[in-house]
Amino acid sequence: MDARPVNPSDDREAGPATLPTSADVARRANVSRATVSYVLNGVTTQKISDKTREAVRRAAEELGYRPNRAAQSLAAGASRIAMFVVPSVHLGELSLVVSSQLTARAAERGVTLIAHFQGPTSRPVIDVAQDLRPRVVFSMFGLDADTTDWLQEHGIPVVSLLPDGDQAGPGNDRSGWLQVEHLVSRGHARIAYADTTEPGLEAVARMRRRGVVDACAQHGLEEPVYERFDLTAHGAQEKVRSLVGAGITAVASYNDEVAITVLAGIRRAGLRCPEDLAVIGVDEMAINGSMEPPLSSIEFDVSAIALLYADALSDILDGDPARPREASTTRFLEGGDEDVMRVVVRESTG
């Protein structure tokens, strides 16, 4: 049985709140449910008078009726839903801010963005996609091969900012490259890479480390010395003394948390930053300016990332097959000056 329309003048005892249906709208507008569907879904192939269209829209507004977009997607095969896959990787506020801005930009095109958080107990992306039939799947990092293949086979484009977890370079996560370029500009020729010991971050850490290694090779430097730092700073001073004793003058860290751990090791070892050892992180945490010394870092331009995703979404909605279905920093580099990352310079690198 259809839900009874809400009537403010109805003085009968109110029951549990129910959502209005298209049948409620049809009764109030005195039209068929098919007419309601045609009007609210913007169908132009049916001859419906302007007066009737206005009556349907007014009835829907008065009742607070909203079409079931998921049901429409399943029936029509043309979804107005997009998925944003949030990885189980600590990225500070990056994923939250990007998804928030992308939600607003998607809404401008009549698309609802649904965030799917990955984790050990979360549903597989394929299962969620089967239920939602999204028009596109966004992700910060490339999805696994099986998931990507399934989505492509079902005509669902995948848009990844950093598509390849095993390669690094000017086309994807350039954080390591930017770290090395900055350190070299400060006169450093012996660089170390400080990795995280946190579980679940191996793919991103490998990608960032690859960037540091490749950038050093590009500048004709020795391969960076590799060291891992526990966020408890246990043994950090011994590792720092070992690096300085080996002639290392600067450290490119996996992220700001690791960089702060290196700073703690420098202090405990009785050394100075940046005089004895310079340090730079990634992610640009709000606390960086309050560190001693203030920490240099690589900052992601979340507005640029959201815009890049939004451009890809527009391409897909507009049916432009010539545009690539993969977003990456390459599109900014080809433009010349813009990028999704930049160096924030503070005293930790001189």
At 156-198, the pLDDT tens digits run 888 876 654 433 333 346 889 999 999 999 999 999 999 999 8
* Average pLDDT, integer, range 308-312: 78
The structural domain count of the chain equals 3
Q: 183 and 294: one domain?
A: yes
Domain that residue 6 falls in:
1-67
The pair of structure tokens assigned to 151 is 């989505």
Q: Of the residues 67, 86, 113, which one is the last residue of a structural domain? A: 67
Q: Of the residues 15, 36, 67, which one is the last residue of a structural domain? A: 67
User: What's the predicted TM-score (pTM) here?
Assistant: 0.64
What is the Cα–Cα distance from 259 to 165, expressed in whole angstroms? 22
Residue 170 lies in a domain: no
What pLDDT does residue 163 have?
A: 52
> What is the domain-level CATH number for residue 311?
3.40.50.2300
What pLDDT does residue 92 have?
A: 59
pLDDT band, residue 90 (cuts 50/70/90): low
Least trusted range by pLDDT, from 6-15, 263-272, 318-327 = 6-15
What pLDDT does residue 78 have?
A: 52
Whether the per-residue pLDDT at 149 is higher than 70: the answer is: yes
What pLDDT does residue 310 have?
A: 79
What pLDDT does residue 54 have?
A: 93
Q: DSSP string of 287-348? A: GGGGSSSPPBEEEE-HHHHHHHHHHHHHHHHTT-TTS-S---THHHHHHSS--SEEEE--GG
Residue 102 lies in a domain: yes
What pLDDT does residue 89 have?
A: 62
Q: 274 and 159: one domain?
A: no
pLDDT band, residue 139 (cuts 50/70/90): confident
Residue 165 Cα distances to 53, 56, 168, 173, 338, angstroms = 51, 51, 8, 9, 23
Residue 319 lies in a domain: yes
* Average pLDDT, integer, range 201-218: 88
Residue 243 Cα distances to 199, 262, 346, angstroms = 24, 11, 22
